[in-house]
C-alpha cells in the first residue's frame, strides 16, 4: 500500500497516518487508480490580524489591497478581527456589525477561520460609557458581549472573551469605565461575566482569556479562575517582542508554566521588529513614540531568523494550537513599529519568505501521485488538516480531513466507477 508522506516530521504530534479506501459511485473499490493528493489547509491555526481588509471586504479598496490580500491568503488560515468597543460602537446603539460581518464573510468565503478580539477590555472602552454608574456599565457590558457573540455565531466562533485581566482593576494609563467596574467587582466576577455571557450567546464558541502579563500573577489568576469553575477553553499568551526576541529558553519556560493547566495555548499576539529595537528600559510599549521607525536590512535578517526560531519552538510543543502574528505589513503597523512581514510598499521581507518556507514548505505535503492497491486503498501520512484526493487526469475529486492516526476513512469519488 503506497504512502503519501509528510516531508518533515520533526513535530510528530502534528502528523497522522490514515488508511483511506477509495470507492466509485457504484460503491466498488477503485483498485490500481492513480491519484493526486494535495494538502489544502493546516489544522493548526497559523493566524494574522485581518484589520487591513475591512475596507476591501466592504467595497472600499485602497491601492495595493488586492496584492496585500493575495500575500496574506497565501500564508495564513485564521484571521483576528477588531472588536475594540470604542471603535466598534462609536455612538450608543450604532455598532459596526454589518461592516465586520461583511469582513468576516469575506474571509470565510476564502476558507479562513475567524476570531474576534476582544469582548471585555478596559482599554478602548467607549468614552460615552464613562459617565454611567457602575450598574449601568455592567449592564451595557453584558449586553455588548451577548450581542457580538450572538450576532456573529456560526461565522466567528472563537473569541478573546476577556483581555488583560491581570492589570484591569489597577490600570491607570487612561480613564475608562471598565477599570472601576473591575476594581469594584473583582477579577473573578469580571471573568465570569465575560465567559458566562459569551457561552450563553454561543454554546459552541471557543473562549480565551488573553494577557501580556506572563508572570506568576497570570498563573495565579488562572489557578483561581479554573478552581472557581470559569469555563476557559484556551489560554492566550501575548508575545510582542519590540525589545528583542525572548529566545528558546524563555519560550520553553513559558510553555512549561502554562501548559500545566491542561488547556490549549494560543500565542495570540506575536511581533518581531525588523529595525532598531525598542530600548530595554521602556516598561509600557505604548510609551515609546518616535516619528519614524524604519525597517533595515540588518533588522530584516534578524527578524527572519528569530521568526523561524519562534515558530519552530512553539509548533514543536503539543499544547500550542495557534500562533497569531500581529500584522502583515509595516503600513499602519501597531505603534508604528516595523513588525510587518511585508514592507510598507508591499514587498516581502525575508521574514515572509522564511515563514512561508515553514508553513507551506517543511510543514506541508506537496501534491503527490500515488496508486491505490487492489482494495482501493492508500495510506495518507501528513500534517493534520484537509486534503484533496483527485483522480489523475480527471476533474473528479473528494476532500478528506486528516485528524488522527490508526483509523480508516472510506471516501467516494464522485463520477468514478
Looking up residue 24, the CATH number of its domain turns out to be 2.60.40
- Asked whether residue 217 falls in the same domain as residue 244, the answer is yes
The three-state secondary structure class of 41 is strand
Upstream peptide bond of 118 is cis (omega within 30 degrees of 0): yes
3, pLDDT greater than 70: no
Whether 293 and 276 have beta carbons less than 8 Å apart is answered as yes
Report yes or no on 179 lying in a domain: yes
Provide the pLDDT for residue 1. Answer: 47
- Asked whether residue 72 falls in the same domain as residue 189, the answer is yes
Report yes or no on 11 lying in a domain: yes
Q: What is the per-residue pLDDT across 28-65, written as a single tens digit (0 to 9) for each?
A: 999 999 999 999 999 999 999 999 999 999 999 999 99
CA dist 20 and 208 (Å) reads: 35
Taking only Cα atoms into account, the Rg of the chain, rounded to an integer number of angstroms, comes to 23
Whether 299 and 338 have beta carbons less than 8 Å apart is answered as yes
Report yes or no on 62 lying in a domain: yes
**pTM across the whole model:** 0.95
Q: What is the per-residue pLDDT across 198-208, written as a single tens digit (0 to 9) for each?
A: 999 999 999 99
Provide the pLDDT for residue 411. Answer: 79
Provide the pLDDT for residue 27. Answer: 87
- Asked whether residue 290 falls in the same domain as residue 155, the answer is yes
- Asked whether residue 263 falls in the same domain as residue 393, the answer is no
**Mean pLDDT, residues 241-259 taken together:** 97
10, pLDDT greater than 70: no
- Asked whether residue 16 falls in the same domain as residue 134, the answer is no
Report yes or no on 155 lying in a domain: yes
Q: Which three cell numbers stand for residue 169?
A: 482593576
Whether 331 and 340 have beta carbons less than 8 Å apart is answered as yes
Whether 221 and 187 have beta carbons less than 8 Å apart is answered as yes
- Give me the number of domains the chain comprises: 2
Report yes or no on 380 lying in a domain: yes
**Mean pLDDT, residues 353-370 taken together:** 95
Whether 68 and 329 have beta carbons less than 8 Å apart is answered as yes
- Asked whether residue 281 falls in the same domain as residue 407, the answer is no
Q: Which three cell numbers stand for residue 355?
A: 515563514
- Asked whether residue 17 falls in the same domain as residue 100, the answer is no
Instruction: Name the least confident of 121-130, 227-236, 292-301, 371-380.
Output: 371-380
Q: What is the per-residue pLDDT across 154-192, written as a single tens digit (0 to 9) for each?
A: 999 999 999 999 999 999 999 999 999 999 999 999 999
**Mean pLDDT, residues 240-265 taken together:** 98
Rounded percentage of the chain residues whose pLDDT exceeds 70: 96
- Asked whether residue 28 falls in the same domain as residue 54, the answer is no
Rounded percentage of the chain residues whose pLDDT exceeds 90: 89
CA dist 176 and 139 (Å) reads: 16
Q: What is the per-residue pLDDT across 264-313, written as a single tens digit (0 to 9) for each?
A: 999 999 999 999 999 999 999 999 989 899 999 999 999 999 999 999 99
Residue/partner pairs of 40-43 with CB below 8 Å, 24 or more apart = 40/111, 40/385, 40/386, 40/387, 40/388, 40/399, 41/77, 41/111, 41/385, 41/386, 42/77, 42/359, 42/363, 42/364, 42/383, 42/384, 42/385, 43/383, 43/384, 43/385, 43/386, 43/402, 43/403
**CA distances (Å), origin 14, targets 45, 75, 321:** 12, 18, 10
- Asked whether residue 141 falls in the same domain as residue 13, the answer is no
Q: What is the per-residue pLDDT across 82-113, written as a single tens digit (0 to 9) for each?
A: 999 999 999 999 999 999 999 999 999 999 99
Report yes or no on 304 lying in a domain: yes
The mean pLDDT value of the chain amounts to 94
- Asked whether residue 11 falls in the same domain as residue 99, the answer is no
Report yes or no on 91 lying in a domain: yes
Report yes or no on 60 lying in a domain: yes
- Asked whether residue 376 falls in the same domain as residue 358, the answer is no
- Asked whether residue 21 falls in the same domain as residue 65, the answer is no
CATH for 163:
3.20.20.80
Whether 39 and 398 have beta carbons less than 8 Å apart is answered as no
Provide the pLDDT for residue 138. Answer: 98
By residue range, what is the domain housing residue 130? 47-362
Amino acid at each position: 500500500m503506497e504512502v503519501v508522506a509528510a516531508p518533515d516530521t520533526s513535530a510528530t504530534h502534528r502528523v497522522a497516518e490514515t488508511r483511506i479506501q477509495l470507492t466509485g459511485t457504484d460503491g466498488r473499490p477503485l483498485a490500481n487508480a492513480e491519484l493526486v493528493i494535495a494538502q489544502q489547509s493546516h489544522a493548526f491555526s497559523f493566524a494574522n490580524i485581518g484589520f487591513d481588509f475591512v475596507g476591501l471586504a466592504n467595497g472600499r479598496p485602497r491601492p495595493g489591497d488586492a496584492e496585500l490580500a493575495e500575500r496574506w491568503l497565501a500564508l495564513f488560515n485564521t484571521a483576528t478581527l477588531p472588536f475594540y468597543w470604542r471603535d466598534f460602537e462609536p455612538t450608543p446603539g450604532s455598532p459596526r456589525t454589518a461592516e465586520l460581518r461583511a469582513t468576516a464573510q469575506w474571509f470565510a468565503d476564502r476558507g479562513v477561520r475567524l476570531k474576534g478580539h476582544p469582548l471585555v477590555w478596559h482599554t478602548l472602552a467607549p468614552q460615552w460609557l464613562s459617565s454611567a454608574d457602575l450598574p449601568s456599565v455592567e449592564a451595557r457590558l453584558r449586553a455588548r458581549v451577548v450581542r457580538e457573540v450572538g450576532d456573529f455565531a456560526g461565522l466567528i466562533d472563537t473569541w478573546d472573551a476577556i483581555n488583560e485581566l491581570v492589570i484591569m482593576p489597577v490600570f491607570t494609563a487612561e480613564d475608562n469605565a471598565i477599570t472601576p467596574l473591575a476594581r469594584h467587582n473583582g477579577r473573578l466576577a469580571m471573568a465570569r461575566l465575560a465567559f458566562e455571557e459569551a457561552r450563553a450567546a454561543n454554546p459552541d464558541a471557543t473562549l480565551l482569556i488573553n494577557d501580556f502579563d506572563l508572570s506568576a500573577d497570570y498563573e495565579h489568576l488562572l489557578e483561581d479562575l479554573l478552581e472557581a469553575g470559569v469555563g476557559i477553553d484556551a489560554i492566550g499568551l501575548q508575545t510582542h517582542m519590540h525589545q528583542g526576541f525572548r529566545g528558546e529558553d524563555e519560550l520553553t519556560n513559558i510553555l512549561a508554566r502554562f501548559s500545566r493547566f491542561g488547556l490549549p495555548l494560543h500565542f495570540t499576539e506575536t511581533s518581531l521588529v525588523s529595525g532598531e529595537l525598542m530600548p530595554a528600559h521602556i516598561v509600557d510599549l505604548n510609551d515609546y513614540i518616535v516619528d519614524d521607525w524604519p525597517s533595515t536590512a540588518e533588522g530584516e535578517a534578524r527578524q527572519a531568523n528569530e521568526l523561524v526560531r519562534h515558530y519552530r519552538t512553539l509548533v514543536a510543543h503539543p499544547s500550542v494550537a495557534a500562533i497569531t502574528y500581529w500584522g502583515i505589513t509595516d503600513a499602519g503597523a501597531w505603534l508604528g513599529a516595523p513588525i510587518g512581514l511585508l514592507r510598507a510598499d508591499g514587498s516581502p521581507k525575508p521574514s515572509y519568505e522564511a515563514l512561508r518556507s515553514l508553513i507551506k514548505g517543511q510543514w506541508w505535503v506537496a501534491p503527490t501521485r500515488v496508486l491505490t492497491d487492489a482494495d482501493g486503498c492508500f495510506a495518507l501520512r501528513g500534517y493534520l488538516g484537509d486534503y484533496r484526493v483527485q483522480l489523475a487526469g480527471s476533474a473528479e475529486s473528494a476532500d478528506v480531513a486528516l485528524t488522527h492516526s490508526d483509523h480508516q476513512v472510506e471516501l467516494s469519488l464522485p463520477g468514478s466507477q
